[in-house]
Amino acid sequence: MRALPRMTGTLFALTVCCAMPAQAQFKGLLKKAAEKAVEHKVDEKVDEASPSKPLGGDPVSADALDALLKGLSLELETQEKTKQLWTVIEAKAKEVTEAERAAGNEPDAWHRASRDVERCISNSLDKSNKLHEQEMPQKMQALMASANANTNSAVVAKLQAIGKAMQDAQAKGDMPAYNKAMTDYAKMLGFDVAKDSSIAFGTCGKLPPKPASMVTLERLKAEVSALSDERRDAEVESNARAAKAAGMPADKYALARERLWAWSAARKDKKPSRALTKEEDALFSARASDIKRIESMLR
């Protein structure tokens, strides 16, 4: 087993670096769940209107077209999965519409009834957080002093584990994991999130139970969201595998794909494709039968 490194200045800086986001978001954690930071989906389609200015990327050569068609053929093979997911999403969306109709004004009534309790809880947690913020520098200093003294290797190991968990969760956009790591860090500093919540609920009371119609509606919406994420991830994975099969960098593959789509769209509209070179137009026209086979992937 590799020995734990000493708490050097570098490790100290790393730990503080990891701790600062936790400190900054600690207040938000107690008040509400953090939202997902960034959606990493890239829309690969150009505007529906026929482009009138040159597109990005290099003109598609004959070799590049061969590679692109190879990648698009692979996308075509995986298209069925995304189609099936879309069918399920559409059906589930209809269930959401029906559930919204069935719920009527019950969700609004629940939110109105919950508003005073939520405001009271928020104020209580704000008071706890302000106290924590005042105590934070001293508690951090004491914790780091304990780790730097090398008297407690468990402190060093736990700080490293929590810092890594935070970084990994941030990289993956895994907010539940990030929140857990942040709560663990708060506990190391002597802050008890659960205790703060218990005090707030004890003072303000708990939220009223949600009506069954609202529970059903929220469940269906969560299912639609999960299915949409799955479909998006399947498309992203398919595009990455297609670029790899084509032997092209992902960005160059996307640009070449876009140029071929522009040609295909102009051809359907029976308009000249002014965004492409004359050589590309001639090349694509000569390979029209091959392109037609994978044309559905360009929409």
Domain boundary assignment for the chain: 9-35+51-298
Average pLDDT score over residue span 11-35? 36
Q: What are all long-range contacts of 23-26, with beta carbons under 8 Å and residues at least 24 apart?
A: 23/136, 25/182, 26/129, 26/132, 26/182, 26/186, 26/191
Token pair recorded at residue 125: 């947690």
Q: Report helix, strand or coil for 36.
A: coil
Residue 191: its pLDDT value, please? 78
H helix or E strand, kind and range, residue 124: helix 106-148
**9-31 vs 153-172: helix crossing angle, rounded to 10:** 60
H helix or E strand, kind and range, residue 116: helix 106-148
Which has more pLDDT, 177 or 26?
177
Distance (Å, whole) CA 68 – CA 62 = 10
Amino acid letter at 131?
Answer: L
Beta strands in 21-83 (DSSP E): none
Distance (Å, whole) CA 255 – CA 136 = 50
Distance (Å, whole) CA 152 – CA 155 = 6
Computed over every residue of the chain, the mean pLDDT equals 77
pTM: 0.51
Read off the pLDDT band of 5 (50, 70, 90). Answer: very low
Summarised one tens digit per residue, pLDDT across range 171-218 is: 888 888 888 888 888 777 777 778 888 888 888 988 899 999 999 999
**Max CA distance (Å), the chain:** 78
Summarised one tens digit per residue, pLDDT across range 46-78 is: 344 334 455 667 889 999 999 999 999 888 887
Per the CB < 8 A criterion, the answer to whether 65 and 287 are in contact is: yes
- CA 176 to the chain's CA centroid: 12
Placement of tokens 């929140």 in the chain: 179
